[in-house]
Every structure is written in structure tokens, then in C-alpha cells.
Structure 1
């Protein structure tokens, strides 16, 4: 019998102690997802920035780390905890599209019809839509109190006055993270990176905010672009879509309880019931899997 000694791939030793990750996206809002339940993962801001770097790392809008549920979470039926890191290393409290992507994985893992995910912004119930296979998240209600956004001073949150080119009047909301939504007549004419970035740094926003620029395009449809904290033009934003619908309904611009929100990366369906509870539904995609090497460990 002939024995052939094949060479060991050069990467064999590199991946021996490496950490697996999954790259997913929801309407091109893309994430690197790491499971830190058995082997904890607490990356430094520099490592997070390296991982999220599109040119030199894996590339992502955010890094997501799945962790064990807290004791309080377990008592409330939580399946797992999700931590959300922005590209600058800061931690976000919640993200609709990130939640949908992680929920997709956890629903498959648990083989159950729903999971509850613990986030910094609250516990989110998630399920798979039987008809479409898309993932739905019960996002809760928006908070319109100016303290909770937060804003620097007492302000009518349905009419926040600013002066940033075509962005003049916004609705300020918090859905676990802060959003300002500006309604304009022609979204395509707005220089988002210029004017939304200016609005994001307005002195009225001590903790900054996600800036949504929206156009009503029908009785059940909104076109939306979001400039996310800490300064990223995203292809889609789930929490931003929820806030755009809640803002439009609060101002009487739309009456329908079910609205399709069209963003550069695609469309999400948002439903708001009579109690203000918002449900976010949309597709998720697993792009690829790989390993983070030791240089990407904390």
C-alpha cells in the first residue's frame, strides 16, 4: 500500500487556537458574530476596530458577542445575552438587524419557535415568520421623553428644531438607542454624510444619536437612510426603521399600522399596534464563517 505524506497546510497551527466567527447581514447591515458562551470574549476597542475594518479585517458595521444570560435574564426566560460593539469600540444598547441575525442562529440552535435575547436595551422576543421564513423581533415601544433620548434641554421631541441644511425639524425617540428622524420631501437630494453628520454632533445631543432621514412615499411606505453612531452610513437600520414609522404615525404623516420601510440595502416590514408596540420583520443571510486569530484576542 502506497503511503503519501501530504504537507500540513500553513494555516493549520494558526487556527488551532483561533476563535470561530460567523459573518451575517440583514439587508447588507453586516455583522461579525462570536459565540462567547463557553469561551468568554472581551475584546479591546482596538481589536474591535481591527475586526470591523473592511479593508484590513473581516469587515462589519458592528461586532456581536453572544454571552450566557444573566441570572435576572434566566429568571425571565432569556435564552442568551447579546453584546453589540460599534466600530470605535463603544457599546450599543440594542440593534434591530443585529438581533434578527443572532436570533436566526439561536432559533436554529434551540429548535424552538421563539427565543428571548437579552440586550443592554432590554429583553427582545424573536421568532421566525412561518410564511416567509424571515425573522421578527418584538422591539417594544419608543420613548419620547427628552430626558430619555437624551437631549441637553427640555424640548418638544415631536418638533426638535435644528439647522443643518435641509434637516430642520426632527422627531427624537429612544428605542433602546437614541434616534432623530427628519422628514424631507426629496431624500435623494439630501447630502446625508454632510448634513446628518452635522446633526449627529449637535450640542442638543450630549450622547450623539442615530440620524434618520425619511421620505413618505405612500400610505404604507417610507424611504429611509440612516447615519448611525459613531458616524457610519448604513445600508439598513432596524431600530431606525422602527423609529421612522413611530415618528411618522406620531406626527400623523401615516395612518397604517403596517408599513414597509425601504432602505439602500432593501426593505423591512414594521408593525405598530394600538399600544405602540413595534414588531420588526426582515430577512437574514449567513455570508461566511471563519476564524479570528490570536492577534484578534483581548
Structure 2
């Protein structure tokens, strides 16, 4: 089976062109290829398939073999793969995911894709849809002066969704109280603002959040420090993969959470361990746009039974 190793800001996956190749047991293959000692080494496995509703389909598995809805860094690499390997000649494509159809604009330099802008769609804030068990119970949102956050469009969005939301809400993890903001970008995220993200023990705290009882489908957790109103830094613990160097959906969730909490402007540079992403929550459409690089690392062949 032929494969391609690709990465977006160090968030690396093994890609298989399933227009030509067949993967019999994707969860087991994901665990096998992701092993950094006995496998190829990756944060997971992404299968590129044909789609009836978009140009291509992205089928994604985490390093532990669990299926994931969406990956922002992963989908940028899908765009690079299908263009660079001649599966399309279009510089604007659509990709079907479990988190919905995403639309991507490709920047091509010397015949190869270097940067990709992804329309990530509208963020989902309804607690039951993320899903997050809401600490405040079943009451509907109440939009008052404290909910305005200095942003009229955000407030209108809250009113329109008429939802139970989790914004700056307390959670007790390992005996300590934290404040979380819940956002889905096609997959679930809990954003936690801290004064120090570099010195935190993410190997201890990350799994505690991921498997907390308030997250019935587990959670991706972003630990965020606000540098200024246009810049935030972030570390991420990804559900099923552990800490990764970058998470595109997580960067979008962190930017949205920063805006919802009145801490940032609508266009934010998100600094991750693997590099920077530019995220914009557009006021007019309500959609989130993410721009970043995509890189091919190497190609190879997995022999049957190896």
C-alpha cells in the first residue's frame, strides 16, 4: 500500500489515496502507522476518497484508531495532495468530512500548493451539540449587558442560536477549578485561558480534561494565553492523539473563544508549537477562515504483513 507522510505545522498524518488503494481495517491501520517506534510515526491516518457531494472526502482516524470528524491541518494537506498529485487542477475545492463540507482555496507556487485557506464554516456553540454537559442546567441563554462582549454581531449570534452555551463556565479538574468555553468546529473543543501555557503539565492535565465526565464524547482541549488582541499562543491536547504540535480546528476554536470572551479582535494570529495560523471569524457571514501551510514529508510503501 502506497502512502504519503504530510504535515501542517508539525501536525502530521499518513495519507492514503483510496481512489487507487484499499484499506481493509482503517482503525487498526491508524494505530499501526501512527506508532513512532514501530510504525511510520504520525498523529493519525487520513484516507482520501471520492465523494458524491464534494470534490473529495477526507476520512480521518486518530492515533488510537478512533474516528474523528475534522482536522484543520489535515484538510489543508488533503488539498495539497489532490492538487500536487494531479487529482484536480482546481485551486478552489470542496472536501466532505464528518464535520460537514469544507471549502478550500489553494495558493500555488512553482506548480505546488504552499498555503491553503479553509472556510471552516460557522462555529457551533450549543452545549448539547458540542457536546458538553452544561453546569448551569437546562435554562435557555439569557443575553444581557454582560453577554454583549463589545461585539454586536456575537451577541446577535447568541440570540439567533437561542442555545445553552458554555462560555467562561467553571469546571473542576483534578481538584482545581478552571474556566472553559465550549466550541465545535465540526469536532468538540474546550478552551481554557491560562497565564502560563509553556510551563503547564499538559501530559497530566490533558487526559483529565479529555476524559472528564462533562464531555460525553471526550474533548480536544486548548490551553491558551492571550498575548494581545491580535495574537494568542496555544498548546493543545487532542482527543485520541495526545499533545500535538498544532491543531487547526483547535486554533479556530481558541480564536472564537477569545472573541466570545472579549479578549481578541476578529482576526487573530494563533501561535502553536509547530508555527502560526491566521484565523478570522468573519462578521458578515459568521464563518471562520483559517490560513496556513501544508508540506509533503516523504512517500513510501507499506508491505503486507510488515
Superposition TM-score tier, normalisation by shorter sequence = 0.7 to 0.9
Match of 2:150 in 1: none
8 Å contact from structure 2 (residues 33, 42) kept in 1: yes
Match of 2:140 in 1: none
Which of the numbers 168, 172, 184 marks the counterpart of 1:163? 172
Query: Given the two structures, how large is their TM-score scaled by the length of structure 1?
Result: 0.86
Query: In the alignment, is residue 104 of structure 1 matched against residue 85 of structure 2?
Result: no
Q: 1:112 to 1:251 in 2, by over 3 A?
A: same
Displacement after TM superposition at 1:248 (Å): 0.4
Which of the numbers 248, 255, 260 marks the counterpart of 1:250? 260
Match of 1:54 in 2: 36
Measure the CA separation in 2 of the matches of 1:129 and 1:272.
21
Spell out, residue by residue over 1:94-142, the C-alpha distance to the aligned partner (whole angstroms, 9 max, x if none).
0000000011122332121211011111111111236994111110111
Displacement after TM superposition at 1:46 (Å): 2.8
After superposition, the CA RMSD in angstroms is 1.8
Displacement after TM superposition at 1:167 (Å): 6.1
Measure the CA separation in 2 of the matches of 1:172 and 1:181.
6
8 Å contact from structure 1 (residues 107, 115) kept in 2: no
Q: Which moved more, 1:35-44 or 1:270-279?
A: 35-44
Match of 1:15 in 2: none
Displacement after TM superposition at 1:156 (Å): 4.0
Match of 2:20 in 1: 38
Query: Given the two structures, how large is their TM-score scaled by the length of structure 2?
Result: 0.84
- Where 1:118 maps in the other structure, the secondary structure is strand
Match of 2:94 in 1: 116
- Where 2:198 maps in the other structure, the secondary structure is helix
Query: In the alignment, is residue 151 of structure 1 matched against residue 132 of structure 2?
Result: yes
Query: In the alignment, is residue 68 of structure 1 matched against residue 60 of structure 2?
Result: no
Which structure has the greater CA radius of gyration? 1
Measure the CA separation in 1 of the matches of 2:279 and 2:177.
24
Match of 1:263 in 2: 272
Match of 1:95 in 2: 71
Spell out, residue by residue over 1:74-110, the C-alpha distance to the aligned partner (whole angstroms, 9 max, x if none).
xxxx111110011111110100000000111223321
Which of the numbers 259, 270, 279 marks the counterpart of 2:289? 279
8 Å contact from structure 1 (residues 181, 213) kept in 2: yes
Query: In the alignment, is residue 209 of structure 1 matched against residue 209 of structure 2?
Result: no
Spell out, residue by residue over 1:159-214, the C-alpha distance to the aligned partner (whole angstroms, 9 max, x if none).
23212366600101111100000011121232111122211111111111000000
Measure the CA separation in 2 of the matches of 1:252 and 1:55.
44
- Where 2:12 maps in the other structure, the secondary structure is strand
Query: In the alignment, is residue 29 of structure 1 matched against residue 14 of structure 2?
Result: no
How many residues align? The count is 271
Displacement after TM superposition at 1:231 (Å): 4.6
Match of 2:149 in 1: none
Match of 1:80 in 2: 56
Match of 1:240 in 2: 250
8 Å contact from structure 1 (residues 40, 67) kept in 2: no
Q: 1:167 to 1:182 in 2, by over 3 A?
A: farther
Gaps in structure 1 of 5+ consecutive residues: 1-18
8 Å contact from structure 1 (residues 197, 231) kept in 2: no
Match of 1:20 in 2: 2
Which of the numbers 183, 189, 193 marks the counterpart of 1:183? 193
Measure the CA separation in 1 of the matches of 2:170 and 2:18.
43
